[in-house]
Structure 1
Amino acid sequence: MKKIFITVTCVLLLTYSFAQHKTKNLIIVTLDGMRWQEVYRGADSAMINSKYTTDKDEVRKKYWVRSVGERRKLLFPFLWSVISKQGQLYGNRDAGNKDELANLYRFSYPGYNEIFTGFPDARMNTNDPITNPNMNVLEYINKQKGFEGKVIAFSSWERFPQILNVNRSGLPVYSGYADLKNPDANARLKYLNELQHNVPPYLGDSTRLDFITYEYSKEYIRQYKPRVLYMAFDETDDMAHAGNYKFYLDRAKQEDGYIKSIWDMIQADPFYKNNTTLLITCDHGRGDEPMDKWRDHGADVKGSENTWFAVIGPDTAPTGEVKTPTVTYHKQLAQTIAQLLGFDFKANAGHEVGDAIKTVIK
């Protein structure tokens, strides 16, 4: 991919001072395979009227109005009622703003590797359970003073222990149907250990429901007050691969609601209030033309490199939707995450880390 790297300028500072940053804690959320098209356009009328949508009248009632602005708010009310006013959103290609993958594979493991290690590694070209040799930014933060043992990940997809290399990093990563191991866990967390094994496993025997991942994350925040928490949802990708546009939309709106609930909770908690940044993104895009390609992604699917992200917090200017003709890459997110907390992410030898995206307030 030969593209000129362009530094975002419209919402950025000319200088960035670590001494002035206010972010003390960070919440990262990913919506697996969530297309930029629905994020910025809302539900697609062609998709609603296609073979991929059951209960068309119900879907139109829930998600369709003519106005793009109102339509996307129906699907993502938190993104378009809160972050659009108090934070920033990147990747609306209709407005000329692009957010993209630098890796050429354009599916999940390579996408998450890029997000968290800061570069596209040609060796990370499978979704198989291979161990990632690259240091990730969560591992790096977990080694910094004041963050030791305060970084954790909950994911629906079972592959994150390998992506984040728990054997080397020592990060607590609870993925798939893994039970929380803390002996002092409260009654709610212990109940979730039991509950997750009794809910219908409609995503398969290895990937758990996003509801369980959300509940673990929320309750862990309440009890343990982590400094950095990563919450990885999966169902949007599953529903798209299944070709069920109604469920894809429903899961997207549900996950927006989960994110709102987490944000409202931390803003009501003195430990987190006004000192926590929330970053939301995806691991890859999906196809668009022909229509059937919306189910797919990968190196041979045009459009699956097109991604998006949103950020809100005390160091982020409330400029809303970024509409300037600039390009950001997911390889920049690792350093962005680090610098929001006042760190300079230095990865293991052999590769550079993408430059941070400066979202800070003047």
Structure 2
Amino acid sequence: MMRKFLFWIGLLLGTSAMAQPAENVILVTLDGVRWQEVFNGADSTLLFDPVYTRDTANARKAFWKPTPTERRELVMPFLWNTIGKQGQLYGNRKLGNRMNVTNPHWFSYPGYNEILSGYADDRIDSNDKVDNPNVTVLEFLNQQPKLKGKVAVFSSWDVIEAAVNEKRSGIYASSANEPAQPRTGADSLLSDLTTLYPREFGDGVRADFLTYFTARQYVKQHQPRVLFLSFDETDDLAHAGRYLDHLNMVKSIDTYLADLWQMIQKMPQYAGKTALLITTDHGRGHTPKAQWKSHGNKTVDSYQIWLGAMGPGVATSGEQKAGPLLYQNQIAATLAQLLGYTFTAAHPVGAPIETVVGNNR
């Protein structure tokens, strides 16, 4: 009798401890941001080299501290002081924790397809703006009755519209060349800025700050249940060899996320009910240091990525040490599972990351 009693007590306690799925999820990507900067902060070989940093004295003041722990908090304070303390961070290879892409290309569109569809598709082998033949987790969620019309995408790079297949999926997707739909004075200002602000990296890319503030306004007005925010300038600045500008952009995006998180904690739709995933589409080279400007399968180790997770159902275990090798193709199913759904598609889908979604089982 005692054993049966203890069994049922344990079962009840286990059931009560199981977290409820999140009601909302936000996915954020920072294009081409290395795990090295995320976990170690500024790289001295680039920060103090005038070839890559236009003002090394100010760069030192802004981003240099004696230890990696101090330096990384200078670059991404929200990531480390909020996600790092309230959620989980994966990809610090110095601690034996690894995460890789599975696609063989190691550049943007193949990476975004893998993140969103959970599948490395050999047909996606360029950055051409070609509609994704694969059903993404966003399209899958938009097909669920409770989430229909409540999925939104905001991206700086216009190819993301193709990656989510806006035409077929019916998902609202705003990117480089789309002004905000004027409903308020703020919308009109954002629309004008999108049209008139100089395009530093070409017509296919709008400034990341415009992507953020356009998304922020949309969240206030429409309160989507699933939001994908895709930032791009971090990769463009790296390709241009502008390391200090790259770090400043990473920090700016981190600040945007802190602002967004603070805002939604004051909104009943989101407060305490929202999960956040943050990752990158690919890594970058590191040896020799000139390889930092590059990525792709001819650039050593640019298949290496990282992931942050926080919210309902995500255990508060912080920076991960050791553990199994994780893959980019697991992010889509993980996102769905955080909302209580099992992502299925005609193509294979990577399994959810158990340590992220374990409390939702």
Q: 1:80 to 1:20 in 2, by over 3 A?
A: closer
Distance 1:354 1:360, change over 3 A: closer
Deviation at 1:169, TM superposition (A): 0.7
Q: Which residue of 1 aligns with 2:8?
A: none
CA contact (8 A) 1:28 1:278 kept: yes
Q: Is it true that 1:355 corresponds to 2:351 in the alignment? A: yes
Partner of 1:319: 317
Please say if residues 19 and 312 of structure 2, whose CA atoms lie closer than 8 Å, have aligned partners that are also in contact. Answer: no
After superposition, the C-alpha distances for 1:128-183 in whole angstroms (9 at most, x for unaligned) are 111211000000000102111000101000101211111211111111121234x7
Greater Cα shift, 324-333 or 233-242 = 324-333
Q: TM-score, normalised by structure 1?
A: 0.92
Residue 165 (structure 1) aligns with = 165
2:29 counterpart SS class: strand
2:179·2:195 contact (CA, 8 Å) conserved in 1? Answer: no
- Quick check: 1:110–1:120 contact (8 Å CA) kept in 2? yes
Structure-2 residue corresponding to 1:39? 38
**Letter matched to residue 219 of structure 1:** Q
Q: Which one of 214, 232, 235 corresponds to residue 234 of structure 1?
A: 232
The structure carrying a bigger helix percent of its residues is 2
Aligned to 2:151: 151
1:30 alignment partner, SS class: strand
Deviation at 1:191, TM superposition (A): 2.3
Structure exhibiting the larger radius of gyration computed from Cα positions: 2
- Detail structure 1 runs of 4+ shifted over 3 Å in the superposition: none
For residues 83-162 of structure 1, the aligned pairs below 5 Å read: 83-162=83-162
TM-fit CA distance, 1:186: 3.1
Tell whether the 8 Å contact from 2:274 to 2:312 is kept in structure 1 after alignment: yes
Structure 2 match to 1:23:
22
Partner of residue 221, structure 2: 223
Q: CA deviation at 1:193?
A: 1.3
Letter in 2 for 1:289: T
Distance 1:79 1:245 in 2: 20
What is the CA-CA distance between 1:267 and the residue it aligns to?
Answer: 1.1
Say if 2:88 and 2:310, in contact at 8 Å, map to a contact too. yes
Contact 1:21 1:340 in 2 (8 A): no
Partner amino acid for 1:317?
Answer: A
Residue 259 (structure 1) shift: 0.7
Secondary structure, in 3 states, of the residue corresponding to 2:99? Answer: strand
Gaps of 5+ in 1: 1-14
Structure 2 residue identity aligned to 1:233: F
Runs of 5+ in structure 2 lacking a partner? 1-13
For the structure 1 residues 298 and 88, does the alpha-carbon distance in structure 2 shift closer, same or farther, using more than 3 Å as the test?
A: same
Deviation at 1:187, TM superposition (A): 2.8
User: How many Å separate the matches in 2 of 1:232 and 1:288?
Assistant: 24
Whether 1:254 aligns to 2:232 is no
Question: CA–CA distance in 2 between the matches of 1:179 and 1:62?
Answer: 34
Identity of aligned residues (%): 45
- Alpha carbons 1:189, 1:220 under 8 Å: kept: no
Partner of 1:307: 305
Q: How many residues matched? A: 343
Answer yes or no: is the 8 Å Cα contact 1:95–1:325 preserved in 2. no
Asked whether the equivalents of residues 334 and 357 of structure 2 are also in contact (C-alpha less than 8 Å), the reply is no
Shift of 1:326: 2.2
Partners of 1:326 and 1:66 in 2: how far apart? 31
- After superposition, the C-alpha distances for 1:200-258 in whole angstroms (9 at most, x for unaligned) are 21122221000000001111111111001111100110100000101011001001001
